[in-house]
Chains A and B, each alone.
Chain A
């Protein structure tokens, strides 16, 4: 297998982007990535997208996006793994370049969620329709059950959960691409309206439009496109039981743990080497469970670590310097690629006010459904 690098990135702002369609968003992000690499040629395109068919009635995104990028003819495929679609699109591009099949591949993610559909119902299609959705559960409801199990097992509190939201909004306030560039207080979080107990509105990532794109290239050719390639040291993908009821411990994300151990092994590093990470905080509890499964904190200790500031900018291992899904926004198919872009900016020293000084190794973790799929990438400055 060949070594692989990210050589360029492009990204729309995340938010309620009423003037942009699904294809507009994709073309904006992809064009910026191509412009940054100074190329107009690609070997292949992977489009991460959860549910164009249900959000805007549009499937068959591979050719649609290639066509609108002015690249009809190029191999182009849509990749789906619910909210992990972007991360899996990146992984697919990495595998294609690593195999020697292609030299330069675009990995992009895109979602248009604000076009008038019932978002709750569309997102619920990532849960088990027969055993979960039938009974009236929602996505926040599934994570609320994970939260309650975590509270029962480890004594995690609502204050711990609120601390995740407060931290990520503080980071997001420094990110010009974020949907919410505003800080929130613990009181605001804990007094926001109830969605599914114990999760309130300010524990939940928003409904967002947006796209993100990176160019993946063989490391040997990377300098043709950039002075600052970022190497993909490891990639891990894993699955777990689809339904929450079938997981041995509902407070633990098995797929994240498995994907992480595969990525750590591929990279030849351990959790203690990670200097900055983007994790899938679709709900505040998801960040706590993710950093435990990634072994960035002890099991059951993520809430305390968050309240102690260990995961904030300036802390032991800053988590979600972009603002995370909570503050930056969560256009589901785009999220995995946007996470990689934040780590690329950190490792290039281009993260501005959010910069983690001297970061040379970072991780991103993207997750589908209530944790039934997860993909982890480890990136390194070269």
Chain B
């Protein structure tokens, strides 16, 4: 990933920054310019709670090249208490235990190593709530 692109995404990748719509209160993650719920464009920046519940999930066995060494791994759509939904890997547990309804904490982790230079890319992963 070219460094300007990675840099642009730091607010959501490092700080779980989301936005709450000033008109309808919907929380969008990552930030958008237009609210998908009401079309509003006035937002307040908020930080998401570092916890949530699995909406749906899978365990990836056939992985993309950059994740080959990690397979099989669990990946899930997680909903935070603010109502934002994000896709994250769920780690530090048996992948088979990650199911709809599973409670997770969100922790800052290394996500991937990219390109020949092996640039480290960070973000959030789920871990069993505790």
Chain A residues at the B interface, C-beta cutoff of 8 Å: 118, 120-121, 124, 130-138, 140-141, 144-146, 148-149, 152, 193-199, 241, 243-246, 250-251
When distances are taken between beta carbons in the complex, the residues of chain A under 8 Å from B123 are 134-135
Q: Which of A132, A148, A243 contacts B57 (CB 8 A)?
A: A148
Q: Is the CB of A244 within 8 A of B77?
A: yes
Query: B65: nearest residue on chain A (CB-CB)?
Result: A118
**Is residue B9 within 8 Å, beta carbon to beta carbon, of the partner chain?**
yes
Question: Could you tell me the distance in whole angstroms from the C-beta of A122 to the nearest C-beta in chain B?
Answer: 11
Asked whether A197 and B58 contact (CB < 8 A) given A134-B123, A137-B87, A246-B85, the answer is: yes
Q: Is the CB of B64 within 8 A of A136?
A: yes
16 example contacts (A-B, Cβ-Cβ < 8 A) are as follows A130-B30, A134-B111, A134-B112, A135-B75, A135-B89, A136-B67, A138-B63, A145-B77, A148-B99, A149-B100, A194-B59, A194-B61, A196-B61, A197-B58, A244-B87, A245-B55
User: Bound state CA distance, A152 and B63, in angstroms?
Assistant: 24
B62-77 CB contacts (< 8 Å) to partner A: 62-67, 70, 72-73, 75-77
Q: Which of B85, B87, B100, B112 contacts A148 (CB 8 A)?
A: B100
When distances are taken between beta carbons in the complex, the residues of chain B under 8 Å from A250 are 55-56, 77
User: Bound state CA distance, A75 and B130, in angstroms?
Assistant: 62
Asked whether A145 and B57 contact (CB < 8 A) given A130-B30, A134-B112, the answer is: yes
**Is residue B93 within 8 Å, beta carbon to beta carbon, of the partner chain?**
no
How many chain B residues touch A (CB < 8 A): the figure is 33
Q: Is the CB of B62 within 8 A of A245?
A: no
Q: Sort A-B residue pairs by CB-CB distance and give the 4 closest, nearest first.
A: A144-B58, A245-B85, A149-B56, A136-B67
Q: Is the CB of A131 within 8 A of B87?
A: yes
**Is residue B129 within 8 Å, beta carbon to beta carbon, of the partner chain?**
no
Question: Could you tell me the distance in whole angstroms from the C-beta of B78 to the nearest C-beta in chain A?
Answer: 8
User: Bound state CA distance, A135 and B58, in angstroms?
Assistant: 13
Query: A132: nearest residue on chain B (CB-CB)?
Result: B87
When distances are taken between beta carbons in the complex, the residues of chain B under 8 Å from A152 are 56, 100
Asked whether A137 and B75 contact (CB < 8 A) given A145-B56, A152-B100, A246-B85, the answer is: yes
Asked whether A245 and B60 contact (CB < 8 A) given A132-B87, A135-B89, the answer is: no
Query: A127: nearest residue on chain B (CB-CB)?
Result: B87
User: Bound state CA distance, A375 and B36, in angstroms?
Assistant: 22
Q: Is the CB of B58 within 8 A of A246?
A: no
Question: Could you tell me the distance in whole angstroms from the C-beta of A139 to the nearest C-beta in chain B?
Answer: 10
Q: Is the CB of A135 within 8 A of B100?
A: no
> Which of B61, B76, B88, B111 has the most chain A CB atoms closer than 10 A to its own CB?
B61
When distances are taken between beta carbons in the complex, the residues of chain B under 8 Å from A138 are 60, 62-64
When distances are taken between beta carbons in the complex, the residues of chain A under 8 Å from B85 are 245-246
When distances are taken between beta carbons in the complex, the residues of chain A under 8 Å from B89 are 135-136
Query: B8: nearest residue on chain A (CB-CB)?
Result: A130
Question: Could you tell me the distance in whole angstroms from the C-beta of A355 to the nearest C-beta in chain B?
Answer: 37
Q: Is the CB of A136 within 8 A of B66?
A: yes
Q: Which of B60, B70, B100 contacts A137 (CB 8 A)?
A: B60
Q: Is the CB of A245 within 8 A of B86?
A: yes
Question: Could you tell me the distance in whole angstroms from the C-beta of A285 to the nearest C-beta in chain B?
Answer: 11
> Which of A124, A197, A250 has the most chain B CB atoms closer than 10 A to its own CB?
A197
- List 13 other contacts, CB 8 Å, given A121-B64, A136-B89, A197-B59: A134-B112, A135-B87, A136-B60, A136-B64, A136-B73, A137-B75, A138-B63, A141-B60, A148-B56, A148-B100, A195-B61, A244-B56, A246-B36
Q: Is the CB of A196 within 8 A of B58?
A: yes
Question: Could you tell me the distance in whole angstroms from the C-beta of A140 to the nearest C-beta in chain B?
Answer: 7
Asked whether A136 and B77 contact (CB < 8 A) given A141-B60, A250-B56, the answer is: no
Question: Could you tell me the distance in whole angstroms from the C-beta of A253 to the nearest C-beta in chain B?
Answer: 14
User: Bound state CA distance, A124 and B75, in angstroms?
Assistant: 15
Q: Is the CB of A141 within 8 A of B75?
A: yes
Query: A250: nearest residue on chain B (CB-CB)?
Result: B56
When distances are taken between beta carbons in the complex, the residues of chain A under 8 Å from B36 are 241, 246
**Is residue B121 within 8 Å, beta carbon to beta carbon, of the partner chain?**
yes
When distances are taken between beta carbons in the complex, the residues of chain B under 8 Å from A121 are 64-65
Question: Could you tell me the distance in whole angstroms from the C-beta of B93 to the nearest C-beta in chain A?
Answer: 15
When distances are taken between beta carbons in the complex, the residues of chain B under 8 Å from A251 are 56
When distances are taken between beta carbons in the complex, the residues of chain A under 8 Å from B57 are 145, 148
Question: Could you tell me the distance in whole angstroms from the C-beta of B20 to the nearest C-beta in chain A?
Answer: 16
User: Bound state CA distance, A205 and B99, in angstroms?
Assistant: 25
User: Bound state CA distance, A251 and B100, in angstroms?
Assistant: 12
Q: Is the CB of B58 within 8 A of A148?
A: yes
Question: Could you tell me the distance in whole angstroms from the C-beta of B69 to the nearest C-beta in chain A?
Answer: 11
User: Bound state CA distance, A332 and B66, in angstroms?
Assistant: 24
Question: Could you tell me the distance in whole angstroms from the C-beta of A146 to the nearest C-beta in chain B?
Answer: 7
